[in-house]
Homo-oligomer: A and B are copies of this chain.
Amino acid sequence: MISNQRFAGIELGGTKIVCGIATGAGDVLERTSIPTREPEESLVDIKTWLEPRLDDVTGLGIASFGPVYVDPASPRYGHIGATPKTAWQEFDLLNSICEWATLPMALDTDVNAAALAEIRWGAAPGHDNVVYVTVGTGIGGGIVSNGRAVHGLMHPEIGHMKPRRLPDDDLDGMCPFHGDCFEGLAAGPAIGKRWGKPLNELPSDHPAYVMEADYLGQLAVNLLLTASPTKLIFGGGVMNCTELLPMVRDAAARHLNGYLELTDPSNAAVELIVTPGLESNAGLLGAVALVIDT
Among residues 145 to 170 in chain A, which have CB atoms less than 8 Å away from a CB atom of chain B? Answer: 145-146, 148, 150-158, 160-162, 164-165
Given the known interface contacts A146-B145, A146-B150, the answer about A156 and B222 at a Cβ–Cβ threshold of 8 Å is no
Interface segment, one of A15-23, A235-243, A255-263, A282-290: A255-263
**A229 lies within 8 A of chain B by Cβ:** yes
Interface of A is mostly: loop
A81 to B82 Cα, complex, angstroms: 43
Closest-by-CB residue of B relative to A267 is B153
CB-CB nearest 10 A-B residue pairs = A152-B228, A129-B152, A145-B145, A226-B226, A146-B148, A177-B259, A157-B225, A153-B228, A145-B150, A161-B222
Are B228 and A151 neighbours in the complex by a CB distance under 8 Å?
A: yes
Q: 15 other contacts beyond A129-B151, A156-B228, A162-B164, with CB at 8 A cut-off?
A: A82-B259, A141-B226, A150-B227, A152-B228, A152-B230, A153-B224, A153-B260, A154-B228, A156-B226, A157-B225, A160-B225, A161-B221, A162-B255, A177-B258, A226-B226
Are A222 and B226 neighbours in the complex by a CB distance under 8 Å?
A: yes
**A171 lies within 8 A of chain B by Cβ:** no
A145 to B177 Cα, complex, angstroms: 26
Considering only CB atoms and an 8 Å cut-off, how many residues of chain A contact the other chain? 44
A259 to B258 Cα, complex, angstroms: 34
| Residues of chain B with a CB closer than 8 A to A258's CB | 177
A156 to B178 Cα, complex, angstroms: 25
Are A152 and B257 neighbours in the complex by a CB distance under 8 Å?
A: no
| Residues of chain B with a CB closer than 8 A to A164's CB | 162, 164-165
**A218 lies within 8 A of chain B by Cβ:** yes
Given the known interface contacts A82-B259, A178-B259, A259-B177, the answer about A152 and B222 at a Cβ–Cβ threshold of 8 Å is no
Are B178 and A257 neighbours in the complex by a CB distance under 8 Å?
A: yes
A81 to B229 Cα, complex, angstroms: 18
Closest-by-CB residue of B relative to A229 is B152
Among residues 97 to 144 in chain A, which have CB atoms less than 8 Å away from a CB atom of chain B? Answer: 128-129, 141, 143
Given the known interface contacts A145-B146, A155-B228, A229-B153, the answer about A218 and B162 at a Cβ–Cβ threshold of 8 Å is yes
**A25 lies within 8 A of chain B by Cβ:** no
| Residues of chain B with a CB closer than 8 A to A143's CB | 145, 226-227
A262 to B82 Cα, complex, angstroms: 13
